[in-house]
Chains A and B, each alone.
Chain A
């Protein structure tokens, strides 16, 4: 499939590229696959045609946007990958699993081939809160909670959403949410190159938001947070990741901890924090997750060498949850959990559903599960809340 390159090169303003290589130099997957975004840009500039389908490595990109963050000339290299994936999507030459995920989003509003009517199964145990929140959404509410696909359906992530519901209740927040009517935010849809579907989701969700009219939207996932904040054009609405809301509630004293996550002998748990790309690098939310962790009784926070802007991508973004990429053996998540274990951490804290899944899997594969647990910050908060935590409720 031969793409005429000139128009794309101009549209994406690739002519500003000085071929410095900072994009490829910082690309976490370039070190293990043939993906070389600097070289792709060059080819777009000097070749009149490109056989896009020959570049299977395009599916290796995690959309971590390190290249975009660091490009001195604001070229936005990752946008070229999205555009080239778009060419593949349009011609139907995409990995089967990507097609399945996109079709599922189109039909069921989620990428996991789950039924729409099962979307609120996450709320088991907090059904009353969910019903109140659905009511609030119908009547119009100031604060809206967007649960997200993975927290709605994935059993490993569902407790994160439940814990957040309990925090809303505890802080006396009147929050609205949609239940089964909620539909995928489209963040990964755009990054997989399905721009038509993405536009449709923006339109539908945007209409939904405007109907409810919240002043604030809080998300479980940095991925939903990112697209609502930067790609939806929701002017006048404050988009927050839940760690930002929590940091704010803690600062105002509206949320206090009754318990602790310390060991039974009282020793603090050593916790290290992995910055998710869509929260940290791309949106510069570094301090709030740390503030929340540091406020939790029984947490001793230690940092990995690569933190904040230098955090290493877990390889779960940009559609990579649904496509394995060309080098499955050397997963970045493996490297990342080794780095985390190297700090002596007993808990690797995350603030993203994808990171939770990829890193937990890596901990198991690497046999680190005896010494280190992967937990979402929300789960740690829940443990430290005391009596109405999930653990207290189930034990």
Chain B
């Protein structure tokens, strides 16, 4: 990578950040791709299939992750955070905080012997698997991780939390490459870049803000993203849709959980739930052919290319769409009961369920205020980053040469995210090309 050239910083390495970084790098400019987590990939890596084409999400994402990892013009900075940003004339002086992995990534071969040996094996909740599986205290979040390097979880590791693991370090003993280094310290790296793309992604609303649905009380009530991990063929259950050890006979989907709800501070539509719920219903039909599948909805918004057709297809797969936002979930014997008014019938109905999936709202990431403060970005009333103009400057921000892409600007699906990432890359490239021209003019004098 030619550090002498004008370069870009991309914050967040989900599909938006990866795509933007690849476009800029392919045009010949250096890119620093910073990711808070140990691997790039973001939310898309957690998904099973993608609507409306039913492509396997990781099958289309992994090649892009590998490209980003191997690109000569991209420097991956995973398990790292932006510590400070300072504007100086035509460029930004940026400090990156590289958190200690306690693993030397130049030595680690990704064999996993350490995780096998870890005393905490199977006892640490996997964030990546949304709590439906456990891992060790030393881990890669998922098998296709880039970089495929292990990381010690400082909140779970016995040595790092209690100062003692055992007579010897199990992981160190097991590592054939001698890569584990508990003396590793946080590192600060200084960069200079001409442009920044913010692609920090989203969070999902805490489903317990809707206590009427019994999330956290009933193990049979889960969120859409948890369902993704459950149905993922390469996930913890190998794609078996199993609840309490059994295939569910009755499955109920509840849409708009938190979305379109000024009462919970989420007045907007999350834009992807209608389609991923249709996809989930399809996956249940695929894996549990005899299941009774009910989707409770207020409106069905199938606006994208091929979306209405996908919704039609799913309905033909014996999925019952009932209009009405359920009001409550409770237990009756072995079953859960979903209580709703079927507004088409104009009657209250009780629908039994062995599995209830909540399509929870997309909300701004917890760290949006911090990132906004670091960069001086403005936020829209819904909490997401504010674009300079909703129609005509959709990827520009309130700060010159800083652009946004993906769900940190507003909820959106993968096609829109990738489009926006490419638009942000194009805008960033304009800055980079101008900087290069200015530099060559200076050289020529």
Contacts and interface: CB of A to CB of B under 8 A. Distances in A.
B298 A25 contact: no
A310 B212 contact: yes
A26 B339 CA distance: 7
A21 B348 CA distance: 9
Contact of A20 (B212, B325, B330): B325
A366 interface: no
Interface in A193-231: none
Contacts of A308: 211
Contact of B260 (A21, A72, A306, A309): A72
A306 B211 CA distance: 11
Contact of A72 (B261, B342, B346): B261
Given A306-B330, A310-B214, A310-B330, A72 B325 contact: yes
B6 interface: no
A25 B256 contact: no
Contacts of A243: none
A25 B327 contact: yes
B323 A21 contact: yes
B341 A25 contact: yes
Nearest to B258: A72
Interface string B126-150: 0000000000000000000000000
A21 B331 contact: no
B263 A20 contact: no
B262 interface: yes
A36 B346 contact: yes
Given A74-B263, A310-B214, A25 B340 contact: yes
A102 interface: no
A308 B298 CA distance: 26
Contacts of A26: 212, 327-328, 339
B268 to A, nearest CB: 12
A70 B212 contact: yes
B234 to A, nearest CB: 36
Residue among B212, B256, B260, B298 having the largest count of chain A Cβ atoms under 10 Å: B212
Residue among B263, B323, B327, B343 having the largest count of chain A Cβ atoms under 10 Å: B327
B69 interface: no
A73 B339 contact: no
B326 interface: yes
Contacts of A74: 262-263
A18 B341 CA distance: 13
Given A20-B298, A20-B325, A72 B339 contact: no
A71 B331 CA distance: 22
Interface string A48-82: 00000000000000000010001111100000000
Interface residues of A, number: 26
Contacts of A21: 323-325, 340-343
B211 A70 contact: no
Residue among A22, A66, A306 having the largest count of chain B Cβ atoms under 10 Å: A22
A204 to B, nearest CB: 34
Interface string A15-57: 0001111111111001100001011000000000000000000
Contacts of B299: 18
Contacts of A267: none
B327 A70 contact: yes
A75 to B, nearest CB: 10
Contacts of B324: 20-22, 25
Nearest to B266: A72
B318 to A, nearest CB: 23
B365 to A, nearest CB: 23
Nearest to A68: B263
A305 interface: yes
A370 to B, nearest CB: 25
B277 to A, nearest CB: 16
Nearest to A36: B346
B330 A22 contact: no
Interface in B243-289: 256, 260-264
B264 to A, nearest CB: 8
Nearest to B256: A72
Contact of B326 (A22, A27, A73, A306): A22
B348 A73 contact: no
A25 B262 contact: no
A281 B247 CA distance: 35
Interface residues of B, number: 26
A334 to B, nearest CB: 16
A21 B255 CA distance: 13
B331 A305 contact: yes
A24 B261 CA distance: 17
B396 to A, nearest CB: 33
Contacts of B260: 18, 72
B262 A24 contact: no
Contacts of B342: 21
Interface string A305-317: 1101110000000
B327 A66 contact: yes
Contacts of A36: 341, 346
Interface string B328-345: 101100000001111100
Residue among A20, A30, A305 having the largest count of chain B Cβ atoms under 10 Å: A20
Residue among A66, A70, A308 having the largest count of chain B Cβ atoms under 10 Å: A70
A24 B343 CA distance: 9
A24 B211 contact: no
Nearest to A73: B262
A27 B348 contact: yes
Nearest to B213: A310
Contacts of B264: 72
Contacts of A18: 260, 298-299
Residue among A23, A25, A70, A306 having the largest count of chain B Cβ atoms under 10 Å: A25
Nearest to A20: B325
A24 B341 contact: yes
Interface in A60-118: 66, 70-74
A27 B348 CA distance: 9
Contact of B330 (A39, A72, A305): A305
Interface in B311-329: 323-328
Interface in A105-153: none
A31 B340 CA distance: 10
Contacts of A72: 256, 260-264, 325
Nearest to B214: A310
A25 B350 CA distance: 9
Interface string A236-274: 000000000000000000000000000000000000000
A25 B339 contact: yes
27 contacts: A18-B299, A19-B343, A20-B343, A21-B324, A21-B341, A21-B342, A22-B325, A22-B341, A24-B348, A25-B325, A25-B327, A25-B328, A25-B340, A26-B212, A31-B348, A36-B341, A36-B346, A72-B256, A72-B261, A73-B262, A74-B262, A74-B263, A305-B330, A305-B331, A306-B330, A309-B212, A310-B214
Interface of B: 211-212, 214, 256, 260-264, 298-299, 323-328, 330-331, 339-343, 346, 348
Given A26-B212, A72-B260, A73-B263, 18 more contacts: A20-B256, A20-B325, A21-B340, A22-B326, A22-B327, A24-B348, A25-B326, A25-B339, A25-B340, A26-B327, A27-B348, A30-B341, A36-B346, A66-B327, A74-B263, A309-B211, A310-B211, A310-B330
6 cross-chain pairs, A with B, having the tightest CB-CB distances, nearest first: A26-B327, A21-B341, A25-B327, A72-B261, A21-B324, A24-B341
